[in-house]
Amino acid sequence: MCPGNQEVLLNIMLNFRTTYVSKSGQVVYDPRSICVHYATTWFFVDLIAALPFDLLYAFNINVYFGVHLLKTVRLLRLLRLLQKLDRYSQYSAVVLTLLMSMFALIAHWMACIWYFIGQKEIEANDLSTWEIGK
């Protein structure tokens, strides 16, 4: 199992024991209430994020486009982080770090799209006919 998946599984176990603030503003310590709250809010998202999609490729299993969409569910975990960062938004360093992180994330997505376009171009054309640097 990948170290990243182990981290997500550990996170799931910890979230079943982590207190939360109720709608009335009270911190909930009751283990049963914590489990029910987590199971009805973020558990499903975390469970999908923990699925080892890389093993599908390792065992040469045909992967359909829908499986690739499931991988994007991992991005929903960022919403939880943004909810927690909201209370620190008055600090300029936090806002600057958040903006730089968002810029890096968007740059990464653009690089992935650029790579995907290049791969499709290579698959569609014969590389021996390309004239590079002439």
Give me the sign of the Cα torsion angle 52, 66, 39, 42: positive
pLDDT tens, residue by residue, 96-109: 887 888 889 889 98
Q: Tell me what the mean pLDDT of segment 118-134 comes to.
A: 73
**For residue 66, what pLDDT is reported?**
66
**For residue 107, what pLDDT is reported?**
92
**CB-count exposure of residue 3 (10 Å: 0-12, 13-18, 19+):** exposed
**For residue 34, what pLDDT is reported?**
93
pTM passes above 0.75:
no
Count of Cβ atoms closer than 10 Å to residue 46 Cβ: 20
pLDDT tens, residue by residue, 1-27: 555 567 777 888 888 988 888 889 899
DSSP structure string for 97-116: HHHHHHHHHHHHHHHHHHHH
Q: Tell me what the mean pLDDT of segment 115-125 comes to.
A: 83
Residue, of 133 and 44, whose pLDDT is higher: 44
**For residue 110, what pLDDT is reported?**
92
Residue, of 125 and 14, whose pLDDT is higher: 14
